Structure 1
Amino acid sequence: MLSFKMFLCALTLTLLAVSLEASKGGGTPNYNYDLSGSDLTRLYNSPVYKAERMKRPLDGSSVIFGPLSHSGVRVTLIDGAQWLVHKGGNYGISSDTVVVDVQHMGPQWRVVETAEFEGMKTVADFVAAGGSDYSLIFDNCHMGSRRMMNQ
């Protein structure tokens, strides 16, 4: 059972994370697509050979501090192409777990875990493991990226 001090610490960190997320700005999300149609279907059906769980600081921060960071999974396909599968509030339309070209990753991303999948899972499996709905407390990017690596 959590002590009261631990509860207050967790609550404070959660409120800080919420305020950091809120500071990104509101408004209508801007959905940009790297692929669509049959190209997107082909990507989702592509076997994943290597997966790397990655972390970066939250927007507006320069350090990674536990849950006050953002995580996702960089997948490598047989042809060497790499894609980032990650989740966040309003990242996508039908799912908050999305796939983006690694060209959108900044230099602050760091590898925290690596696994070989040898083509036994597809990009779609990683998206499904990430989960369709985002919740800061109950199903955030860290929880989704751990599920992706543990499938």
Structure 2
Amino acid sequence: MISRTTLNLVLLAMLAVLAESSWGNGKGNSYNYDLSKMSDLRKLYNSKVFKAERMTRPLEGLSFQHGIISHSGVRATLEDGTKWLVHKGDGYGISSQTVVVDARHMSTNWKIVETKNFGGSKTVSDFVKAGGTDYKLIFDNCHDASGRMMKD
């Protein structure tokens, strides 16, 4: 069971990322996301994931990807059909380097490499926890995190 303090820290980190973000397209765009209330964040955090797609894209500044020379994350589809990208990167969050962002802002460079039907057996919070709080380039990077998220 996750403690209330940990939950609040994760929700605050998600709020910071959802409130303003400049990831994924290399143009430094900021997005003003719709989820600004703690109740909305809590609802997202507890939402059941029905489909998960492990995806990759080129690293910032590169036009190609090859194996680990890429960035990866998991696009989670919820019961209501909304899609959210759960991914990890150095400096992505405040209390956790695994963050959740609205998938409608993903660039077209993302490509699906694996799909899994979870049928609601996991929640967004399970994916965030699987991603982990700390980023380490060698032993706990985006690829490690997205691989853990896709496990049953």
TM bucket (normalised to shorter chain) is 0.7 to 0.9
Q: Distance in 2 between matches of 1:82 and 1:63?
A: 25
- Runs (4+) of structure 1 exceeding 3 A deviation are none
How has the CA–CA distance of structure 1 residues 118 and 31 changed in structure 2, closer, same or farther, with 3 Å as cutoff?
closer
TM-score, scaled to structure 1? 0.78
Stretches of structure 1 that go unaligned for 5 or more consecutive residues are 1-29
The residue aligned with 2:9 is: none
The residue aligned with 1:117 is: 118
The residue aligned with 1:49 is: 50
Q: Distance in 2 between matches of 1:129 and 1:120?
A: 14
Percent identical pairs in the alignment equals 63
* Corresponding letter in the other structure for 1:79: D
Q: Distance in 2 between matches of 1:111 and 1:53?
A: 6
**Matched ranges for 1:31-110 at <5 A:** 31-33=17-19, 34=33, 35-36=35-36, 37-110=38-111
* Corresponding letter in the other structure for 1:74: R
How has the CA–CA distance of structure 1 residues 31 and 43 changed in structure 2, closer, same or farther, with 3 Å as cutoff?
closer
Number of aligned positions between the proteins:
122
2:55–2:72 CA contact under 8 A, matched in 1: yes
The residue aligned with 2:11 is: none
* Corresponding letter in the other structure for 2:85: L
Deviation, structure 1 residue 104 = 2.1
Q: Distance in 2 between matches of 1:32 and 1:49?
A: 22
TM-score, scaled to structure 2? 0.77
Stretches of structure 2 that go unaligned for 5 or more consecutive residues are 1-15, 20-32
